[in-house]
Amino acid sequence: MELIHPSSMFCWAFFIGHYEEMPLVLLGSPSSLLLAYFSTQHGLRQVELHSLTVRVRAMAWVSSRQKVSSRDRFFGYLETTTDAGTCWTFQVKLQNDGRFLIQRCNERYIDPTRSCEEQLGKNIDVCPNAPYLATSSFSGELLIYSQSFLEDKTPTTIKLSLEGIILHSAFLFPKRSSLTCVTHVCLLLESNGTPRIVVHRWIHGISSSNGTSYTSYSIPVPVEFAVVSHILACPDLPDHFLLLLENKLCLLSASQIECGDLKFLQETLPTYHSPAFPLSLVIDPTVPNTCFLIYENGALVHVRFSVVSMDFFYMGYLNSPLGDCLLPFYPYLLCCGDGYDTSVYDISSLNPSLVTTMPSWSPMWDFVYTDDFQNILLDNEVLDNSCYAVSGIGESGALVKLRHGCSVSVLLEALMTEGALLKGVLGSIEDSVFYVWLNYPWQTLVLRLQMDGTVEDISESLALEDSLSLDVALIKETFLIVTDRLVYTLTPDVSQNILMQCPDAEDFILATHTQNMLYVVNKNKETSESFLYAFYFHFNEGNNLSIQGLSDPIKVSSIPHCITSFTLGGCSVITLGYAALDFLTYIVFLDDSQFSVYDVPLSGHSLRLFPHEISFIKKSEAKVHILFSSYEHIVSIPLTMNVERRLEFGFPSIKKLGTLPLSFQNSSNNLESIYGWDDKVYTISVDDDSNELNLNVLNDVENLFHSIAGIYDLPKNFQKNNSKIVVYFSNSTLYLSELLLPQRTFATKYKIGATPRRVLHDKFTDFLVIGCNHVYIEGKKTSDLLFFDLKSSKFLERSWPSIDLKGKRVFKNNETLYAMHFWIIRDSKRRKFRYLCLGTGITGSESNSGRLLILTMIANDSNKVELRSVITLSMPQPVYSVCSLENSGLCYSVGRRLGIKILDLESKKFSNGECEVTTRSPIVSMHTYKNYIFTSSLRDSVSVFEYIKETNSLHLACNDISPALGIDCYYLPQEKLLFGCDKEKHITCFKYEASLRTSQHLQKLEPILSRKSKRKLPSITNRLKYGLLRRSDNQELWGIVGGTIGGDIYKSF
């Protein structure tokens, strides 16, 4: 399984220091970890994302540094507990290539004895003065264990059993007079409902030898303490801690509890704007004895406290709704939480202001991919297939547009004439200056660019007014230019020096250069013979550039089409490719007078390979990967040199690209090549161990990549960490842009204000149809439909309640929408009829009922959608699922009944009579193929029913032998695979096929359902879609796209 869109719903946030003068924040969700910079320009900028395979219950940042320089390689450890009863430790470090890494370094069981009645790990407490942690369970088990970040080290554990339900706990800061004293405090609820505070002290410190040498004190507290939401240790008030109640803030000390003294400091919380409960409390690390308090209505309060008083200072109003996790890093405050957006506020002024928001799409109910090919998803290229998800509950309900890619910041735009091909970027000794070289069919253009936006055309000064160059080089501020007739240089004082002139009977056709060499290929017009010339670069006493021949001209096999050059094992190597010959020529210059020529065929493959453009990727002097394009493919060939200075060739790696590369870049760092053509940009690299060719698509979420004709990245001195500065030519414009890497999911949120239960893509109108619950009309709850225009990215005019053409309301009061489906029917004349089918349930005073609604949609010119009711069926119970069957059939599930209706297009009535079958439990999801119905129900993960048209009957064909609480299913007929998801967080794949069964009276094919694979995910998967997916090796396979309730969207082959 592979994540496409990781969830951005974060429940934990940690400030782990500064890096390059920017705050570094670690965000955690139950299924992923995100390391991000924060800047006012880019907001929270993703640095590294780590997906988790097991759901995390709690997190704690164990060690950190307040100031981290670029020389530091290690940041700290993150301790986590999981649903599997294990403890995972992660380390955050900086790699030698300048990239960050979140790496798991340890995994162990939280409780080695595994004897706890209820699983430990609901929280993690970090001891401030000893290398120990604590975790607890709701059943009263408290486990204190030593920090163990390495797998070969067994932690010391101290297990305590408390009589009651542990609500909150914390380690307290020690007094200066007893810095080794370890104090842990718990708030628990006894079996009789009385809250109690329990204190454990290790006066002489805690270790493996004295772990049981502690004193314990407890005291009952008022009943209102049962609703405490936060407990915080006070760093600047040793032995003290804060408790946040529904309407009070209390300050207690462990010493008071030892003495049985309940005369603690407590203050009633003030009210701001409107009555609201306190939402979160966090210590302010910049000012002693202060904390931040926020309310549900968004009021932000700064609290100053001491042992004798508390003062509340109103700071302003934050945009609500807010999560319950706060992270202050002055002058900013980060807010996040389960189901809420992650927002950063500037709190340096009297009125806090929103700086940036990272939208969350959790809980996610449904999603759809919008394209013209029935939800086909190729690779991670979701720019062509934007994903729309519906999420939220009530007022927080929203439609979210998800796109995967990198953000592009345009630094410079230069308007030019159309028809150019960008051929290269030339560095300069000036820090902020570089040159670009473009070829038009009639002329070469060289531009001088500065990072401040200055663009200067220097083509005329380089004598290129009417010339088309084969190669342009800049060597110590001297330009070397090769045209079809000349090789010449131009110095900064614009003095031209012709180094070589082609005879009249010949033309120069190819040229390339390295740091010390120039290679030129000519063609004889009469004989069509070609020769290669090799030259050394040489500077005389006047610092003028000249060239010196390395050997006599070398005759090549035919007229070459492309050329590249590099060094390997200390020798210069030239590679030539031919347009009509499937082989490559390698010329190795061993010394000034010796060379070797290799003509290496490219046959032996199912594909005939004819090199069109050629380049190389070089990571060391011992190995080079030749890179060339051929039709729709890119090929890499590993190349090494043995001790006898002879070339050795490895097996090629071939990848299908889909478009023909017309230009390659010889990257300045030689580690990867960047390629762009049409609307796609790729980085191309090769794995040294497996020699596998890697193609990484760079998706542009700003839609700036159009008709690209050449792209190059700038030299190293212009580059930054976690970004790539490139120059490319698109249409009639030259762009200098910064690509912010790594690629991530970008979300755009459209507020709905109701709970969006289902979403469909109407390909006829290019609208999204959103079915909403929790819609209030005149104070009464109902459901309704909302329409979103994909072309304008706007909602159509909302006219709730929806009225059909007869003037009747589509939805009744207290009606809940459960299912939506487009039913498309073809008649005998192959005409298409499209119906919108809705399954609902109505909550009445006596019993629940349901309706099956069949509507038509018509988009009019007044920015509205007209609905017409075709058929309405009243049902005795709610209709939980609807799906089409074959040409004119409609499946529906009503309570514990599965039924089929066949529509007569002439009369617009159902013609098959009653056809229903009783199921073990209500069916919540259905999918059909031919006459089979694949279902998920509340008790069975998957079941298969067969409809027999001749007898108008349904019967159970087969089901999963180990049933689970099913949520959704999908059948892929191309692979004969049935996928199902259940409430145990499993995604299960079944092989569904037919087997011949015989008996004395009957011989027929009967379906068999056998489990193929099963995997548990960190979150519940609630929706499955199908798609034609492309794997990393570019092979296309049918697979499943799944979405979890937490917002993760993944693909599975």
User: How do residues 1003-1035 score in pLDDT, each as one tens digit?
Assistant: 445 677 777 788 888 889 999 988 777 665 556
The answer as to whether 410 is a domain residue is no
Place of tokens 């709690």: 58
Give the closest residue to 693 by CA, choosing from 617, 608, 750.
Answer: 617
Q: What single DSSP character describes residue 154?
A: P
More confidently predicted of 944 and 65: 944
**Mean pLDDT value across residues 163-169:** 93
**Mean pLDDT value across residues 611-634:** 86
Mean pLDDT, the chain, rounded, equals 87
Q: Are strands 496-501 and 486-490 parallel, antiparallel or unpaired?
A: antiparallel
Confidence of residue 67 (pLDDT cuts 50, 70, 90): very low
More confidently predicted of 17 and 737: 737
Query: Of the candidates 876, 897, 930, which is a domain's last residue?
Result: 876
Q: Supply the pTM of this predicted model.
A: 0.86
**Mean pLDDT value across residues 587-594:** 86
Query: Of the candidates 852, 876, 900, which is a domain's last residue?
Result: 876
CA distances from 638 to 102, 654, 666 (A): 31, 12, 16
Contact, 357 vs 392, CB < 8 A? Answer: no
| Domain identity same for 541 and 568 | no
Place of tokens 């005409």: 831
Confidence of residue 1002 (pLDDT cuts 50, 70, 90): very low
The answer as to whether 736 is a domain residue is no
| Domain identity same for 868 and 829 | yes
| Domain identity same for 62 and 89 | yes
Position 28 scores a pLDDT of 95
The answer as to whether 523 is a domain residue is yes
* Residue 215 in this model has a pLDDT that exceeds 60: yes
Separation of alpha carbons 303 and 237, rounded Å? 14
| Domain identity same for 572 and 630 | yes
| Domain identity same for 648 and 680 | yes
Give the closest residue to 216 by CA, choosing from 236, 251, 188, 244.
Answer: 188
| Domain identity same for 569 and 629 | yes
Separation of alpha carbons 80 and 26, rounded Å? 13
Contact, 878 vs 849, CB < 8 A? Answer: yes
Position 12 scores a pLDDT of 96
The answer as to whether 501 is a domain residue is yes
Q: Which domain holds residue 816?
A: 753-876
| Domain identity same for 657 and 548 | no
Separation of alpha carbons 419 and 440, rounded Å? 6
| Domain identity same for 525 and 619 | no
| Domain identity same for 786 and 668 | no
* Phi/psi at 594 (5° precision): -115, 140
* Residue 288 in this model has a pLDDT that exceeds 90: yes
Confidence of residue 846 (pLDDT cuts 50, 70, 90): low
**In total, how many domains does the chain have?**
4
Separation of alpha carbons 77 and 33, rounded Å? 13
Place of tokens 């380049």: 615
- For the chain, report the end-to-end CA distance as a whole number of angstroms: 7
The answer as to whether 804 is a domain residue is yes
Range with the poorest average pLDDT among 39-43, 361-365, 558-562, 570-574:
39-43
Side-chain half-sphere exposure of 34, counting CA atoms within 13 A: 25
Separation of alpha carbons 135 and 618, rounded Å? 50
Q: Are strands 67-68 and 12-19 parallel, antiparallel or unpaired?
A: parallel
Contact, 562 vs 616, CB < 8 A? Answer: no
* Residue 720 in this model has a pLDDT that exceeds 50: yes
Which amino acid type is present at position 640?
A: T
| Domain identity same for 872 and 854 | yes
Separation of alpha carbons 932 and 116, rounded Å? 47
Tens digits of per-residue pLDDT, 794-815? Answer: 999 888 999 998 899 999 999 9
Give the closest residue to 808 by CA, choosing from 869, 865, 874.
Answer: 869
Instruction: Report which listed range, 110-124, 292-306, 314-328, 367-381, is most confident.
Output: 292-306
* Residue 19 in this model has a pLDDT that exceeds 50: yes
Position 311 scores a pLDDT of 96
* Residue 284 in this model has a pLDDT that exceeds 70: yes
* Residue 961 in this model has a pLDDT that exceeds 90: no
More confidently predicted of 383 and 120: 120
Position 606 scores a pLDDT of 60
Secondary structure class of 138 (helix, strand, coil): coil
Range with the poorest average pLDDT among 150-159, 252-261, 471-480:
150-159
The answer as to whether 579 is a domain residue is yes
Separation of alpha carbons 184 and 116, rounded Å? 20
Tens digits of per-residue pLDDT, 521-534? Answer: 999 988 889 999 99
Range with the poorest average pLDDT among 113-117, 123-127, 152-156, 678-682:
113-117
Query: Of the candidates 508, 531, 555, which is a domain's last residue?
Result: 555
The answer as to whether 716 is a domain residue is no
More confidently predicted of 605 and 567: 567
The answer as to whether 194 is a domain residue is no
Confidence of residue 373 (pLDDT cuts 50, 70, 90): very low
* Residue 761 in this model has a pLDDT that exceeds 50: yes
309-339 b/e (C-beta count within 10 Å ≥ 16 → b): ebebeebbbbebbbbbbbbbbeebbbbbbbb
* Residue 662 in this model has a pLDDT that exceeds 70: no
Separation of alpha carbons 318 and 276, rounded Å? 14
* Residue 95 in this model has a pLDDT that exceeds 90: no
Longest dimension (CA), the chain: 109
Separation of alpha carbons 994 and 1005, rounded Å? 6
Give the closest residue to 395 by CA, choosing from 758, 774, 769, 757.
Answer: 774
* Residue 381 in this model has a pLDDT that exceeds 70: no
Separation of alpha carbons 1004 and 985, rounded Å? 36
**Mean pLDDT value across residues 628-646:** 88
| Domain identity same for 501 and 569 | no
Give the closest residue to 756 by CA, choosing from 367, 463, 272, 245.
Answer: 367
> What single string gives the DSSP state of each residue in 203-272?
TT---SSSTT--EEEEEE--GGGGG--EEEE-TTSTTEEEEE-SSEEEEEEHHHHHHT----EEEEPP-B
| Domain identity same for 8 and 34 | yes
